[in-house]
Amino acid sequence: MNEVHHTTERLLFEDIQGKKLEVDFDGGEVSSDAGVLLLREVERRLKLLDRLAKVLHDRRHPGYTRHSLLDMLKQRVFQIACGYEDAADADTLRRDPALKMACERLPDDAPLASQPTLSRLENAVSRTDLYRIAEVLVEAFIESYRTPPVAILLDIDDTEDTTHGRQQMALFNAFYEEYCYLPIHIYEGKSGKLVTTVLRPGKRPSGKEIVAILKRVVRKIRNAWPEVSILLRADSHYTAPEVIEFCETENLKYALGLAPNAVLRRKAAGLVEDAEKRFRRERQPVRLFGEFSYGAGSWEEESRVVVKAEHNALGANLRFVVTNLECRSRRVVYEMIYSDRGRMELMIKDHKTHLLSDRTSCHRFEANQFRLFLHSMAYVLLHALRRCHLQGTTWARAQFDTIRLQVLKIGARVRQLRTRVKVHLPTSYPWQAEWRKAFASCRASP
């Protein structure tokens, strides 16, 4: 990026109500993302990126190194949180005074890292580095609890990540009708806390692959909380014999969707018929629940299956859930436990849509997995900001895009003096009281 050349030339626009309108570039150091300083407060307490930097192996020669791993990680993650998902954005942001301060630099200090430097970082990670980063994510999830929880919900699902190029391990998926990755996301279902994200080729995961991921996550959690009760929830893509066997062996509760087949439909035929008769008689949508024991040929033993038979103006709607929960109410098992996993779609939306985590455009698969982890770090920071410091404000339940636009992207004038740095936020900012409340919460938290 070329150096910025300042000029005092004035630009004359059309008059407004008889007054001349003049524009110049003498406004001083100005940032459009002053709210990133709030994220700096959150990160200083979580120390998330510090831990990430410590597990990465820096292969650069010290004599030719200008930017530390920690500086580059902070720069990249804070950029993602502010809506700049591409490393190329660093070339236009490396002199931004607010971003510099978020990365522990003064506004007058040297610029931050450029795009080539950040791209080299992304492509330098090894599989060992990635494994260690995954452990940091799970450890951060565990440490987000002040006391061990009695129970947690593990929601697991995958999402389409369309590829546009020759990325390694990008496969054609007939369901989505395009080349893609299918990364797996795992969240804690009640709190929305991220547990981990794993980039995968664009095909449906096998039972062995799912168990391999769950085994590492559950082992870390159980080592920290030996007495915690874990409930696994997922749709029918994850109802493999290996997954059910793993849950039974590891004493996990589970509520998993079950794809309909001829045997299941035959067992539920009576309930479906009753729902249709009631609908024709009452002319109101009918939803009935039942259960039976079922065991596929590949299963070790039979399991409890809860069935929902619904009939409305659009016709019949039949759903099955296999579970080892002992709750007697079939409605509770289906509606309050299994169906509640739909909230995970909002978590993936925050991660994928609002943080643009499907920006996996590197050629190397390892580099794209590293990118996914960087977006996951941004998710953890924004989620902690919302959950811990935006309660009692208008943003307590806001989506990440709203938080970014109203909390982070604030225009400000920055002045570096001899003994202090002054950041002048706009007088016209409409949420001053709530922003002050969020700042006070950040400063008061340990």
User: What's the pLDDT score for residue 2?
Assistant: 45
Burial of 309 (0-12, 13-18, 19+ CB in 10 A): buried
**Which of 299, 300, 318, 321 is closest to 310 using CA atoms?**
318
The full length of the chain comes to: 446
List, for the chain, all residue ranges whose pLDDT scores fall below the cut of 70: 1-8
User: What's the pLDDT score for residue 301?
Assistant: 82
Q: Which residue reads 């296999």 in tokens? A: 322
Pairing between β-strand 178-181 and β-strand 194-198 as defined by DSSP bridges? unpaired
User: What's the pLDDT score for residue 7?
Assistant: 63
Residue 168 to residue 318: CA distance in whole angstroms = 39
- The predicted-structure confidence for 335-382, as pLDDT tens digits, reads as follows 999 999 989 999 999 999 999 999 999 999 999 999 999 999 999 999
Which H/E stretch holds residue 185? strand 184-188
User: What's the pLDDT score for residue 1?
Assistant: 40
Cβ–Cβ under 8 Å, residues 303 and 324: yes
User: What's the pLDDT score for residue 6?
Assistant: 58
DSSP letter, residue 236: G
SS3 70: helix
Give the percent of the chain with pLDDT over 70: 98
**Domains along the sequence of the chain with CATH:** 25-124+364-444 (no CATH), 127-259+324-354 (3.30.420.10)
Contacts with 151 (C-beta within 8 Å, 6 or more apart), sequence order = 228, 229, 230, 231
Mean pLDDT, all residues of the chain? 93
Predicted TM-score (pTM) of this structure: 0.93
Residue 144 to residue 152: CA distance in whole angstroms = 13
User: What's the pLDDT score for residue 249?
Assistant: 93
